[in-house]
Amino acid sequence: MVFRRKVRRIWRIAASIILVLWTIWTLLDAFVIPRDIIHRSETNETASGLSTSQTEDPGIADDAGDEENVLTEPVITDTSYEDGHISIQIRTMRRLDTDIYIADIVVDNPDLLQTALAGDAFGRNLTDTTSSIAEANNAVLAINGDYYGFRDAGYVMRGGYLYRDLAAYDQDQEDLCIMADGTLEILAEVDYSAQDMADMGARDIFSFGPGLLIDGEITVREGDEVERAQVTNPRTSIGQIAPLHYVFVVSDGRTEESVGLSLLELAQLMQDLGCTTAYNLDGGGSSTIWFNGRVLNKPTTFGEKITERSISDIVYIGE
Among 54-58, 237-241, 280-284, the range scoring the smallest mean pLDDT is 54-58
**Domain-located, residue 16:** no
Q: Is the dihedral of CA 288, 87, 63, 69 positive or negative?
A: negative
Does residue 155 lie within any of the structural domains?
A: yes
- With contact defined as beta carbons under 8 Å apart, do 286 and 147 qualify? yes
Domain range enclosing 74 = 34-317
pLDDT of residue 229: 61
Asked if residue 29 belongs to a domain, the reply is: no
8 in a structural domain: no
Give the residue-averaged pLDDT of 291-308.
95
Domain count along the chain: 1
State residue 60's pLDDT score.
40
Calculate Rg over the CA atoms of the chain.
22
Q: What 8-state DSSP symbol labels residue 112?
A: G
193 within a domain of the structure (yes/no): yes
Inside any domain, residue 11: no
Alpha-carbon distance 57 to 201, whole Å?
9
Would residue 108 count as lying in a domain? yes
219-231 tens-digit pLDDT: 999 878 776 566 7
Separation of alpha carbons 24 and 306, rounded Å: 28
Strand order in the sheet with 98-107: 75-77, 80-82, 86-95, 98-107, 245-251, 235-242, 277-281, 211-214, 217-218
pLDDT digits (tens, 9 = 90+) for 51-90: 444 434 434 444 444 545 555 799 999 999 999 999 999 9
Q: Looking at this protein, which amino acid is placed at residue 201?
A: G
CA separation for the pair 122, 105 (Å, rounded):
27
Q: Is residue 23 part of a domain?
A: no
